Structure 1
């Protein structure tokens, strides 16, 4: 029963990360908060955990309006990001800046896939908007990523994760 609290907390974080940008003022670039939750979890746990959290976050991004087209594309991208960050997590302890850099690379990958999908006719994404989204995501990551990672460490110490 206690082991279910970690996944429940992660699910609530992902749901909040999907819904919170809808309250963002119109016209402003919105950070990819789902990516930050996936990165915060994946940087502290083995690759399968990052993959599952990324898959869940991607499905939420795909399903919650306006959603992504085609359905499942976001889930695959976030799952790949979670898997990749989980795989390199041990190398990132060398510097406190490396997790932020790895998150930036992951954000660029997610936004790159979104741009390619838009170029193929699935969705809408302008290069300027993607660049602003990347910049805002990385600025917000300075504050959010340490909080998510601290919460993950706390849940791990308590045996919830």
Structure 2
């Protein structure tokens, strides 16, 4: 089965969100003794990705729900991909889908907040034409004005 994008708000998929979040929480942000006290991802990211007041999408595969993204009314995008499925292009595929959804909904600008240490998000933002803006030490916003310029 090839991974495909789904609307998480469909009633038949709601039961997959809990196991997805549990899978994310198996990771850690830090190494060593402080590892157990610092589950990954940040609780705020889990809250944003799973918030039913946002438009939510996911990627399904033979392994179940492996990625989720949400789009808030203010244009904030939050996204998480389970560790075992990172680096395979799922985040890119999902983010492009959310961008296209925001364009169709006539958003003027969308943004994501990330840790400076999150190289995958920074690289993804660079590839898709986002502008990085320092917010606080260690945190940045990635901003994309819409509609995007279409290039060959």
State whether TM-score is above 0.5: no
Which structure has more strand as a fraction of its residues?
Answer: 2
TM-score, normalised to structure 1's length? 0.27
Which structure has more helix as a fraction of its residues?
Answer: 1
TM-score, normalised to structure 2's length? 0.29
